[in-house]
Amino acid sequence: MTEVCLLPGPVSLSVTVRAAMHQPPLYHRGAEFLALFDLVRDRLSVLVGGRDVALFLGSGTLANEVVAATLAAASPSRSLILDNGEFGQRLVAQAQRFGLQPRVLTWPWGCPWDLNAIAAVLDDTPPGSWVWGVHHESSTGMLNDLPALIRVARQRGVRVCVDAVSSLGGQPLDLSEVFLASGTSGKALGACSGIAIVFANRAEINQLDLTRVPTYLDLAATLAHAGPRFTFSSSLLQALASALTEYATPAQAQVRFEQYASLGRYVRGELIRLGHRPLADERRASSTITTFAAPAGWASEAFVEFCRRGGFLIGGQSAYLSERRLVQIATMGAVTREECAAFIQHLASLSWHSPSCGP
């Protein structure tokens, strides 16, 4: 039985991305590799409004490590992190690992940022400080209001940093006024996991003293380098380049975003019809990840296994989900409406199975 991947990573790969992944390896100092490296950086830059792009081998977590290391070199004493889910909490932990002591505003899971509360804190924050939050909080499937945060921060001379790991490629994303942002290849862009992406303005970063930043995390040096500073997988780069053809023009990108939005609405609507209300309110729901409570009487792990036996891979094994009896499905990458409809049909059969016995 072929399993349908509805995980938030790794995501379902298209035939063309799979083929690109299996091309013969390229030398990472060779002309062909360097041309492809530049193409990927250029397309990513255009996709988010013109930021400079640094690529590292690693996950989205590594991208956030680069952001934290850079902030530690740049930061004044006052700063703010926004936490309304698992990945907001992780930003706090990463900042603290680099010696930062940010103020933290926290909201319950599934609740959006309170922009009035943020504004009140930033009113007491010196210009040049920063605020850091997660755009798409994938633990809850919520899309936080990044444009509003940028407006609030701009009015107070505060720089915005954003974890865009799960939002990059999933919906239109303008980072032109963002100081630092993180992304990854292996989520909504629809490529393989393994490339960490950091967006910045090179001129701003060049003003910082990064001499105490770990060598691999040196953002200024990575932005300035003509190709990768260190060994880089051509297979991962070729897969990402292939995935980015879906975003090669503004019109193509808009089609991609509309496909994601339509599929997300369909899935959420069907879940609600079956009595499984998503954790995120529809007005703030992400296009690509839907988190909801496991059915009554089911532990997350048991429900995940029920789905797996039906041929569907969903999320729920992570401790931050299972301890709350939450599960999630992702419609990232090459997932089709037909596959989602088959999952909904499997979910509709749930009443025939008991939590203790499984399917």
Say which CATH architecture domain 4-9+249-350 belongs to. Alpha-Beta Complex (3.90)
146-154 and 115-123 helices, crossing angle to 10°: 20
Residue 357 has pLDDT above 50, yes or no: no
Over residues 125-147, mean pLDDT: 96
pLDDT in tens, 7-43: 998 999 999 999 999 999 999 999 999 999 999 999 9
Residues 6+ apart with CB under 8 A from 49: 173, 174, 175, 176
pLDDT in tens, 275-319: 999 999 999 999 999 999 999 999 999 999 999 999 999 999 999
Domain range list for the chain? 4-9+249-350, 15-247
Burial class of residue 1 in the structure, from the number of CB atoms within 10 Å of its CB (0-12 exposed, 13-18 middle, 19+ buried): exposed
- pLDDT recorded at residue 272: 96
pTM score of the predicted model: 0.94
- Per the listing, tokens 């850079």 go with 70
3-state secondary structure 299-310: CHHHHHHHHHHC
The CATH T-level fold of domain 15-247 is: Aspartate Aminotransferase; domain 2 (3.40.640)
pLDDT in tens, 170-224: 999 999 999 999 999 999 999 999 999 999 999 999 999 999 999 999 999 999 9
- pLDDT recorded at residue 266: 97
Q: Are 132 and 80 in contact (CB under 8 A)?
A: yes
Residues in the chain, overall count: 359
Tokens of 227: 């190709």
Residue 84 has pLDDT above 50, yes or no: yes
